[in-house]
A = this chain, B = another copy of it.
Amino acid sequence: MSTQSSRNPPRAVVLLSGGLDSATVLAIARDAGFACHCLSLDYGQRHRIELDAAARVAKTLAADEHRILRLDLGAFGGSALTDGAIAVPIDGVQSGIPVTYVPARNTIMLSLALAWAEVLGSHDIFVGVNAVDYSGYPDCRPEYIAAFESMARLATKAGVEGGKLTIHAPLIDLTKAQIISRGIALGVDYGLTVSCYQANDQGLACGVCDSCRLRREGFSAAGLADPTPYVLKT
């Protein structure tokens, strides 16, 4: 599928969390011929082990660069992922917007990616949002991504000067099983990734939170072995 043979491939900024989805996105962006500049945000999340996973994934998938930017979103509170006073749900039964929602997280991450893209002269930003498993999150919907792209084209030099800017969300309408199958075909080692909302210090996944449940079900539906190291053998 690689169509880019130039010695100076176009640059892309890839938002990399260290989880399954964004690792797949990085593999897709590389396969499309982009030089990948990966950005992770250290936003005071509980699952900091993800940042170590992001570094491993960037290296293994031959990213050109990986930067971690620190921003203490925990100062605002309001989410189970940053606020110690709200419990992470483990029962898989929720309606509406999950309490694991981090306010404006994708907007903040895409904005930072936009800043870096402008400095790099890049017109392409890749993000692993998914509207299937995360239908409760407003900022994972196609109409949100389209609106961000429209705004970003008005916000930047590249847009003003007639250039282009594209927000690529290649997973947006895929099931977890489809994402995993795509990544395996592109050589992603999912044993390096961490999706768990409350992985322990050794990077072992809890096996029971919503994120673990979706991941397990994805491997099962894809008919593939789950390489995730779990604490609980359930």
Contact = CB atoms under 8 A, between A and B. Distances in A.
B119 A108 contact: no
Contacts of A144: 151, 154-155
Total identical chains: 2
Given A97-B160, A111-B107, A141 B154 contact: yes
A31 interface: no
A199 interface: no
Contacts of A76: 115-116, 119
Interface stretch (A64-72, A207-215, A226-234): A64-72
A131 interface: no
Contacts of A118: 78, 103-104
> Interface residues of A: mostly helix, strand, loop or mixed?
helix
A150 B152 contact: no
Nearest to A144: B154
A108 B106 contact: no
A59 interface: no
Interface in A64-120: 67, 69-73, 75-78, 97, 101-108, 111-112, 114-116, 118-119
Contacts of A107: 111, 114-115, 151-152, 155
Contacts of A157: 97, 101, 103, 138
A85 B149 CA distance: 31
A156 interface: yes
Interface in A39-81: 67, 69-73, 75-78
B71 A69 contact: yes
Interface in A136-187: 138-139, 141, 143-144, 147-148, 150-152, 154-157, 159-160
Interface of A: 67, 69-73, 75-78, 97, 101-108, 111-112, 114-116, 118-119, 138-139, 141, 143-144, 147-148, 150-152, 154-157, 159-160
